[in-house]
């Protein structure tokens, strides 16, 4: 049985289409008994994303809040199919966790070939840790090529529970992604993508999908506390180099 001990992709009211403060999100995570929460507000390429300076100053936040590990991060927007992002390296290196995603508010869909090219360039970027909601059919790609590249570059793939609600058609593509991750041994992160405290830790849809394909629990990064903390420690050590 798959369970989760952290939620690493969440948004606060710094992203103006989200509705809770950092403290409210962390309190909700603590009430659920989670070990860590990631705060990953949208980058400035989103119409209401946070300014660059917001992310730079996250290094001043405490390492723990309400008894859980606080993971500072960003959901960066992919700006072009060359792998351009809306935050530069000197900011990204300050963060604990970086998830990169396609959003229609930041880039126009352009077809399978270019979507795949963009993902492959992003995956090769050492400052990106995880691919965000890559099962979104609006940005359909060569999923096998993308997952194999993640294995090569040691990137995580997100299974985003909110995609099943807000990105129509994601269920089937997420299943494809999950099966490929299982085949190639690529680790996944289950996330809520919560935009308010009411949905922190809401991983039910993603867990249900992964269990339906017999996904190995040991490949779920946030499925066990020790595994999660080792992952976060490795990211921190890598950014310190």
> Would residue 1 count as lying in a domain?
no
Beta strand pairing call for 156-160 and 130-131 = parallel
pLDDT along the chain (241 residues), means of 10: 97 96 98 98 96 97 98 98 97 97 98 98 98 97 98 98 94 97 98 98 98 98 98 92 67
Residue 151 lies in a domain: yes
Please tell me the pTM assigned to this model: 0.97
For residue 155, the SS3 value is: coil
Which one-letter DSSP state was computed for residue 159? E
pLDDT at 21: 98
216 found inside a domain:
yes
In a domain, 183, yes or no: yes
Q: Within a domain: residue 221?
A: yes
CA 122 to chain centre: 13
Q: Specify the CATH number for the domain of residue 19.
A: 3.20.20.140
Q: Distance (Å, rounded) from C-alpha 166 to C-alpha 169?
A: 9
Q: How far apart are CA 225 and CA 213, in angstroms?
A: 23
Sign of the alpha-carbon torsion through 46, 52, 56, 61: negative
Residue 168 counted as domain residue: yes
Three-state DSSP state, 160: strand
DSSP per-residue string spanning 37-50: EEEEEEPTTSTTPP
Question: Any idea which residue has 């976060």 for tokens?
Answer: 232
pLDDT for residue 187: 98
Number of separate domains in the chain: 1
Q: Are strands 68-77 and 97-101 parallel, antiparallel or unpaired?
A: parallel
Range of the domain at 137: 6-240
SS3 228: helix
77 found inside a domain = yes
Nearest to 80 by CA among 106, 62, 61: 106
**Amino acid 241: pLDDT:** 67
Q: What is the pLDDT of residue 239?
A: 84
Q: How many CB atoms lie within 10 A of CB 199?
A: 19
């Amino acid at each position: 049985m798959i369970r989760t001990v952290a939620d690493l992709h969440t948004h606060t009211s710094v992203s103006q289409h989200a509705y809770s403060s950092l403290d409210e999100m962390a309190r909700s995570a603590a009430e659920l008994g989670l070990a860590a929460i990631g705060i990953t507000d949208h980058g400035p390429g989103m119409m209401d994303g946070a300014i660059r300076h917001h992310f730079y100053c996250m290094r001043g936040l405490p390492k723990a809040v309400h008894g859980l590990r606080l993971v500072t991060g960003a959901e960066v927007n992919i700006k072009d199919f060359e792998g351009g992002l809306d935050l530069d390296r000197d900011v990204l290196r300050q963060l604990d966790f970086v998830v990169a995603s396609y959003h229609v508010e930041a880039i126009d869909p352009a077809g399978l070939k270019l979507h795949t090219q963009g993902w492959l360039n992003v995956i090769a970027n050492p400052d990106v840790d995880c691919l965000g909601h890559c099962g979104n059919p609006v940005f359909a790609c060569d999923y096998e090529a993308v997952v194999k590249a993640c294995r090569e570059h040691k990137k995580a793939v997100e299974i985003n529970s909110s995609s099943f609600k807000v990105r129509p058609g994601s269920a089937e593509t997420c299943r494809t992604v999950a099966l490929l991750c299982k085949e190639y041994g690529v680790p996944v992160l289950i996330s809520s993508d919560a935009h308010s405290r009411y949905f922190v830790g809401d991983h039910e849809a993603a867990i249900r999908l992964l269990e339906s394909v017999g996904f190995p629990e040991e490949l779920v990064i946030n499925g066990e506390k020790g595994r999660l903390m080792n992952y976060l420690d490795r990211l921190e050590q890598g950014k310190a180099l």
